[in-house]
Chains A and B, each alone.
Chain A
Amino acid sequence: MGRFILTRLWQTLITLLLLTVLIFILARLTGDPTPLVMPSEATDADRNFFRQQYGLDRPIHEQYVIFLRNALRGDFGISFRYREPAFGLVIAAIGPTLQLAGVSMLVAMMLGLPLGIVAALRPGSWIAAAVRAYASLGQAIPTFWSGLMLILFLSITLPIFPSSGYGGPENFVLPAVTLGFYASASIAMLTWANMTEALRSDFVQMERVLGIPPRLIVLKHALRNASLPIVTYLGLQFGLLLGGAVVTERVFAWPGVGQMLVDAILNRDYPVVQAAVMMTAVLFMMINLMVDLLYAVLDPRVSRS
């Protein structure tokens, strides 16, 4: 087990290094930040000074080395747009995003897991049909549309929840439901598929024949067998919520890292792009690592292989 963890840590580090190259190139693909940072009145000298100041006039490999060296010390440079350390900006934005992702994940699991299990237990019933319809709808409705609908009905027509912004627990309701509904659909489908498979397995069939109470079969054995892909998927889903909540963050003016990233890309703010991606990536990989460890606990064969 110890060796397994070490291997995974080592792998994570290599992935991170790979990621720095990827993100460094991606950021620079988007184009020159100078016209966006400097007003049209700026002279050529001003523009050149800006490029020098941020090292953009150096050869690209040199820029990368400087970036990597500083990043290792936790220094991601100064935002072109806000002239503040990019790291601080991202740290400030990552809190709201994590909170929203966490609450949404909770909503999604509370909706998705039971629906998936129930549907698997009663194939062909109206419940299964309803769950299928729910999952299809959840996957089919774009989040910006459902978000706007929620605002329309639950904060304009019926002023129950605030339409946007970040602050108290009431601010979480609409964005978390928007995101949670979307994520719950795929969780329900996956739970359903894996539960069905687990229920069909020789092992569960055998238990059924042996007369072990169905509730025990479902909860102890089938669920455990089905949980492996589900856990993987939950990890992935959480990562998607981290990076993919961009649209929801925009609709609800959520000051999270997703919105910051979009702004940063549109503004060619390389330091913020790099810092934001590295931070979400590190978080995401930590989650992945935990998923893998859980995997190992749930299925001992993995760590042996």
Chain B
Amino acid sequence: MSATSEGSGLGPFRRRFTWGRGGRPPIVATTICVILVIAALAGRNFITLAPDEVDFTAILTPPVWIEGGSWEHLLGTDQLGRDMLSRLVAGARISLLTACAAVIAGGTIGIALGLTAGYLGGLAEAVIMRVVDAFLALPFILMALAFVAALGTGVGNIIIVMVLTNWARYARLVRSEVVLIKQRDFVLLARVAGLNRRAIALRHILPNVLTSILVLAILDVGRAIILESSLSFLGLGIQPPDVSWGLTLAEGRTYMTVAWWLTLWPGVAIVLAVMSFNAVGEWLKARFDPRGQL
């Protein structure tokens, strides 16, 4: 990213704005993120029990430290006797995959279109922004439900649905920032200096809108995880035999008063993941924020 090279000169403000003391990266959050990513990518190699292995003799076994628990199922089992730990690890894969894929794809499309609209103006802007407005005016849940109802509920479809629902927000935010930035002196100077439009857009405007985008994107990973679980709550998210945190949480919620571990573990996983991504994202933002040099 072009922003990286520009962020190397660090000013006094950066120190004040970071999570860890003295500008150190947030160790705990980073560790959690790394663990989650490893779990998502290679988790299946570490778990001994299959996440969809039904065992009617071990239904609703509590976690090992509670009376009735067993070492076989460290975090307990669910309503069909499936191992919660295995399900959490397997769930990380789909939850993170869908969330990240949706944010990256939606963000890229949104930035590209927002930048084009904001910088070019004219007809391009008019067309893009009308489409953006139309998408923004559609309630998320409608699009999600309609697509799920039409296409079915595979992981790929859930990602498509999420991208369809988030790209327009990036586009709108980028465009609104670009409209302001392109009036700034340094852009005007670049233009006077004879740089072509693409160079100006990519080298001078893009880095300046990345702050807002990053905040939005970071929060969006969490948002995407939550949305997936909300769809599951309505019965239209990820479907068995696939496993996701949202699905586990939604299916376990009727057991909330009987077996708290069904909702607590996926709930904790979601909250931890979102908070860690936020913390790391915030730190990255402070470190590479081009305006942090001021």
Touching chains A and B, CB distance < 8 Å = yes
Asked whether A277 lies within 8 Å of B211 as measured between CB atoms, the reply is no
Contact with A along B10-28 (1 / 0, CB 8 A): 0001011101000000000
A239 CA / B132 CA spacing, docked (Å): 14
* Nearest neighbor of B221 in chain A, beta-carbon distance: A139
Cβ-neighbour of B274 out of A15, A136, A266 (below 8 A): A136
* Nearest neighbor of B229 in chain A, beta-carbon distance: A142
Q: Return chain A residues, CB-CB under 8 Å to B173.
A: 229, 232
A302 CA / B177 CA spacing, docked (Å): 11
Asked whether B291 lies within 8 Å of A305 as measured between CB atoms, the reply is no
Write the nearest CB–CB distance from A297 to chain B, whole angstroms: 15
Which B226-264 residues have C-beta < 8 A from chain A?
A: 226, 229-230, 233-234, 246, 249-250, 253, 256, 263
A265 CA / B138 CA spacing, docked (Å): 14
Choose among B133, B226, B270, B274 the residue with the greatest number of A CB atoms under 10 Å from its CB.
B133
Asked whether A186 lies within 8 Å of B294 as measured between CB atoms, the reply is no
| B contact residues, total (Cβ < 8 Å) | 63
Q: Return chain B residues, CB-CB under 8 Å to A197.
A: 211, 291
Asked whether A18 lies within 8 Å of B130 as measured between CB atoms, the reply is yes
Write the nearest CB–CB distance from B215 to chain A, whole angstroms: 5
Q: Which applies to chain A's interface (DSSP): helix, strand, loop or mixed?
A: helix
Binds B, one of A40-48, A59-67, A103-111, A281-289: A281-289
Given the known A-B contacts A29-B146, A123-B16, are A140 and B270 also in contact in the complex, defined by CB atoms under 8 Å?
A: yes
Q: Return chain B residues, CB-CB under 8 Å to A133.
A: 275
> Is A23 in contact with chain B by the CB < 8 A criterion?
yes
Which B127-155 residues have C-beta < 8 A from chain A?
A: 129-131, 133-143, 145-147, 149-150
Q: Return chain A residues, CB-CB under 8 Å to B30.
A: none
Asked whether B176 lies within 8 Å of A139 as measured between CB atoms, the reply is no
Given the known A-B contacts A258-B139, A281-B137, are A193 and B211 also in contact in the complex, defined by CB atoms under 8 Å?
A: yes
Write the nearest CB–CB distance from A234 to chain B, whole angstroms: 13
> Is A26 in contact with chain B by the CB < 8 A criterion?
yes
Which B161-175 residues have C-beta < 8 A from chain A?
A: 169, 172-173
A225 CA / B72 CA spacing, docked (Å): 58
Contact with B along A8-33 (1 / 0, CB 8 A): 00011011001100110011011100
Given the known A-B contacts A29-B146, A137-B271, A265-B149, are A145 and B263 also in contact in the complex, defined by CB atoms under 8 Å?
A: yes
> Is B115 in contact with chain A by the CB < 8 A criterion?
no
> Is B83 in contact with chain A by the CB < 8 A criterion?
no
> Is A223 in contact with chain B by the CB < 8 A criterion?
no
> Is B267 in contact with chain A by the CB < 8 A criterion?
yes
Q: Return chain B residues, CB-CB under 8 Å to A142.
A: 226, 229-230, 233, 246, 249, 267, 270
Q: Return chain B residues, CB-CB under 8 Å to A152.
A: 256
Q: 28 A-B Cβ contacts within 8 A?
A: A15-B130, A23-B138, A30-B146, A136-B275, A137-B271, A139-B223, A139-B278, A140-B226, A140-B271, A140-B274, A140-B278, A142-B229, A142-B270, A144-B230, A144-B233, A152-B256, A186-B219, A196-B17, A197-B211, A197-B291, A205-B294, A246-B139, A247-B233, A261-B139, A273-B146, A281-B137, A301-B180, A302-B179
Closest 4 CB pairs of A and B: A243-B139, A140-B274, A29-B150, A281-B137
- Which B residues have a C-beta under 8 Å from some C-beta of A? 13, 15-17, 19, 121, 126, 129-131, 133-143, 145-147, 149-150, 169, 172-173, 176-177, 179-180, 183, 211-212, 215, 219, 222-223, 226, 229-230, 233-234, 246, 249-250, 253, 256, 263, 267, 270-271, 273-275, 278-279, 282, 291-292, 294
Known contacts A142-B267, A246-B234, A281-B138, then 7 further A-B pairs from the complex at CB < 8 Å, ordered by chain A residue:
A26-B146, A27-B146, A123-B17, A132-B278, A189-B219, A229-B173, A232-B176
